[in-house]
Structure 1
């Protein structure tokens, strides 16, 4: 069991370290791509002060079908509260491919968020990697705000939009993982577990190592999504957001 854990940790370091060293200079790229060509008009059921006639307000949203026309590796769109994060998500046969490529598969310093190659969007745990920066609010930089429990309380959920549905996820834990510490479990990079027992052990360990308690419970029937980005305070650490699907 100890050997297996070390092996998992070693593989996880290789994957997670792909995000290391991408602490952009102030001359770095803020976005990996300009997605303005992929927005379409959408009707949202909400009333604003300007909309005194109580009519449906119109806003723009990313079109998954248009994004997939540009790149068939697109598997969904990640949307956080107020669209602080609003990004298309890709998946490639290996985790190196999109580290520094954009939607057009051209070089981009900021890359594009990607689902870990050892799973898929229907896995028990969907792991998504994305870059962050010390200087620019690129891609997953807003995840750094979850270090503070007050931010979590204001933004406890996010959505993942696929071709067939919109999934809602509730964050149940925030971790700060040290890649150099093999005793710091890196099982969050797994897309599945061998048994309910091992899954429950992972959940228990994650909750114990969380930066704060959320009070959200997780059981063996839950499906997870894990968002991973570098800790801009320490290049050897990662911010890990663990969430469970609620619908």
Structure 2
């Protein structure tokens, strides 16, 4: 009987050891795949950023495109960048940049579809990082008075993975300006609010996505009042009806279905 018990204990130990080894190999494999995917995603993004840099750098093609007319949009290097990249992918609508941060990415748009470019890169490859996406309820030409841009909150810091730092006062002070390049101009925005909320208003019954197309002063004022009341920081800058708003939205894992919003108004 004692010998039999010894065999059972040995079998249990061996089984546990085998399962532990299998678990270790599976976890290691998953981790390795994630690292590979992250490296591939970063490499593809660097290609797009390099293409943009060439466009506004020493490209002979760009030089030939610049006319003698100072009012010609082609003299705007930011516009040239968009024009060049648009030829590579016609879903490109603009380029978002926050100086002295990792945010320096193309903005993509597909009519009626917010999901495709959250799962694909600029070249159409599967990519869990995705890209920045202009909300499907906005206009491709960025003419709306409220632009909503989505991006993943990546642990690596890619895409909107650094927006969480806007919860810190010092980071906000050093990164108050947002730049948006379009096919015709370079726009500048000033941050007016940083808000923790939820995707569909579950937290407080206020769904920020309902305020993309703001066609009247009362609705605009209601939205601004909400932002200022809920902002994590007391920011002197605000917005009035007639201003164009830009909202950067990403997941916030501090709450169920959470969203972090960084809202800015156009200046200049």
Structure 2 length-normalised TM:
0.70
Change (3 A) 1:190 1:198: closer
Which runs of 5 or more residues in structure 1 are unaligned?
Answer: 1-23, 44-59
Larger Rg, first or second structure (1 or 2): 2
1:167 alignment counterpart: 187
Find the aligned partners of 2:198 and 2:95 in 1 and give their Cα distance: 28
Deviations 1:169-228 (A, max 9, x none): 000000011337252412245321242111101110111011111111211011101000
Find the aligned partners of 1:83 and 1:151 in 2 and give their Cα distance: 10
1:118 alignment counterpart: 137
Of 252, 255, 261, the residue aligned with 1:231 is 252
Find the aligned partners of 1:82 and 1:228 in 2 and give their Cα distance: 19
Deviations 1:107-136 (A, max 9, x none): 1111110100111211110000011222x0
Give the structure with the larger strand fraction.
1
Question: Number of residue pairs matched?
Answer: 207
2:166 alignment counterpart: 146
Give the stretch that moved more between structures: 232-241 or 179-188: 179-188
Q: For the Cα contact (< 8 Å) 1:178–1:184, is it kept in 2?
A: no
Find the aligned partners of 1:145 and 1:184 in 2 and give their Cα distance: 26
Find the aligned partners of 2:243 and 2:123 in 1 and give their Cα distance: 34
Change (3 A) 1:122 1:191: same
Q: Quick one: higher RCO (CA 8 Å, sep 6+), 1 or 2?
A: 1
2:45 alignment counterpart: 33
Deviations 1:142-190 (A, max 9, x none): 1111011221111111100011100000000000113372524122453
Which runs of 5 or more residues in structure 2 are unaligned?
Answer: 1-29, 59-76
Deviations 1:69-109 (A, max 9, x none): 11011111101012521101111011122110111122111
Give the structure with the larger helix fraction.
2
